[in-house]
Structure 1
Amino acid sequence: MRKRSIGINVRVTVTEKKKVTMLARKCGLSLSEYLRQRALGYEPGGHPPTEVFDVLDKLDEIAESCSMRDGAAISAHTDRLRDLLIGGN
């Protein structure tokens, strides 16, 4: 059974709906979840494009071909970048 059973209706223009829908999609959220988070004071973050992660994966491949010391340093940097991009610690 769904916990959320009460709806809130809000009238918007076509342009406003397109903009809010695009913002929700950028955050990887449904329109309802995006609006719920915004209404409750949260500011959902967007996801970086997949190309960013492709570059980080390529850096990991390069790190594997380096010396143990240099490879470990490169891997540590790419791990930190991933954490920053996806909201890790």
Structure 2
Amino acid sequence: MRKRSVGINVRVSVTEKRKMTLMAKRCGLSLSEYLRQRALGYEPGGHPPKEVFDVLDKLDDIAERCSAWDETDIIAQTDRMRDLLIGSN
């Protein structure tokens, strides 16, 4: 059985709904989950686009193909780029 059984209806303009839907998509959430989190005081984080992960995969591939004497420096550089793209953990 679903825990969430009570609905809340809110009227918004078409523009507002588009903006909310876009923000939810950027966070990788459904519109309902995005609105639920925002209403409960959470600030959902953004979800990087697929292209960011494609770039990271390519950077890893480049680092693996470099000669051994450059590997440490190149890995350090790719780690810095990764941090710039998606932030450090």
Q: Same fold (TM over 0.5)?
A: yes
Question: Unpaired segments of 5 or more residues in structure 1?
Answer: none
Corresponding residue SS for 1:61? helix
How many aligned residue pairs are there?
A: 87
Equivalent runs, 1:1-80 vs 2, <5 Å? 1-68=1-68, 70-75=70-75, 78=78
> What TM-score, normalized by structure 1, do the two folds share?
0.78
Q: Partners in 2 of 1:2 and 1:51 — Cα distance?
A: 36
Deviations 1:17-56 (A, max 9, x none): 1111111111110010000000011111221221111111
Identity of aligned residues (%): 75
**Shift in CA distance, 5/77, structure 1 to aligned 2, threshold 3 Å:** farther
**Shift in CA distance, 44/77, structure 1 to aligned 2, threshold 3 Å:** farther
Question: Unpaired segments of 5 or more residues in structure 2?
Answer: none
Contact 2:63/2:71 (8 A) holds in 1: yes
Q: Partners in 2 of 1:6 and 1:75 — Cα distance?
A: 51
> What TM-score, normalized by structure 2, do the two folds share?
0.78
RMSD of equivalent CA atoms: 2.2
How far did 1:69 drift?
Answer: 5.4
Contact 2:63/2:78 (8 A) holds in 1: no
